[in-house]
Amino acid sequence: MTHPLYYDPAALGQCAQHAGAGDGPVDERIVLSEDVAHHALRVRRHGEGEPIELSDGNGLRAHGVLEAGGIVRLSRLEHEPAPTPALVLAQALAKGDRDLQGIEAATEVGVDEVIPFQAQRSIVRWPAQRRDKAAAKWSQRLHAAGMQSRRTRIPRLAGLSTAGEIASRAAEEGALLLVLHESATEPLTSLDPAELGQARRIVFVVGPEGGLHPDELEVFSAVPGARIVKLGPTVLRASTAGPVACALLQERLGRWG
Are 253 and 198 in contact, with CB atoms under 8 Å apart?
Answer: no
Tell me how many domains the chain contains: 2
Three-state DSSP class for residue 125: coil
- Residues 111, 66 within the same domain: no
Rounded to 10 degrees, the C-alpha dihedral 66/67/70/76 comes to -50
- Residues 167, 241 within the same domain: yes
The pLDDT assigned to 250 comes to 97
Q: Which of 79, 108, 124 is the last residue of a domain?
A: 79
Are 58 and 79 in contact, with CB atoms under 8 Å apart?
Answer: no
Inside any domain, residue 257: no
- Residues 47, 164 within the same domain: no
∠ CA 46-62-42, rounded to 5°: 20
- Residues 184, 247 within the same domain: yes
Note the Cα 193 to chain centre separation in Å: 21
CA separation for the pair 59, 78 (Å, rounded): 8
The pLDDT assigned to 1 comes to 58
Gyration radius of the chain over CA positions: 20
61 Cβ partners below 8 Å, 6+ apart? 5, 53, 54, 55, 77, 78, 79, 80, 152
Inside any domain, residue 21: yes
Query: What is the DSSP annotation of 193-252?
Result: HHHHHH-SEEEEEE--TT---HHHHHHHHTSTT-EEEE-SSSPPPHHHHHHHHHHHHHHH
The pLDDT assigned to 210 comes to 87
The pLDDT assigned to 17 comes to 62
Q: How far is CA 155 from CA 82, 122, 212, in A?
A: 11, 23, 25
- Residues 105, 75 within the same domain: no
* pTM listed for this prediction: 0.93
Helix, strand, coil percentages, rounded to 5, for the chain: 35, 25, 35
Query: CATH no. for residue 33?
Result: 2.40.240.20
Q: Which of 30, 49, 79 is the last residue of a domain?
A: 79
Q: What 8-state DSSP symbol labels residue 175?
A: P
The pLDDT assigned to 16 comes to 63
- Residues 116, 211 within the same domain: yes
- Residues 163, 228 within the same domain: yes
The pLDDT assigned to 22 comes to 66
- Residues 100, 215 within the same domain: yes
Range of the domain at 128: 86-252
The pLDDT assigned to 237 comes to 92
**Residues in the chain where the model's pLDDT stays below 50:** none
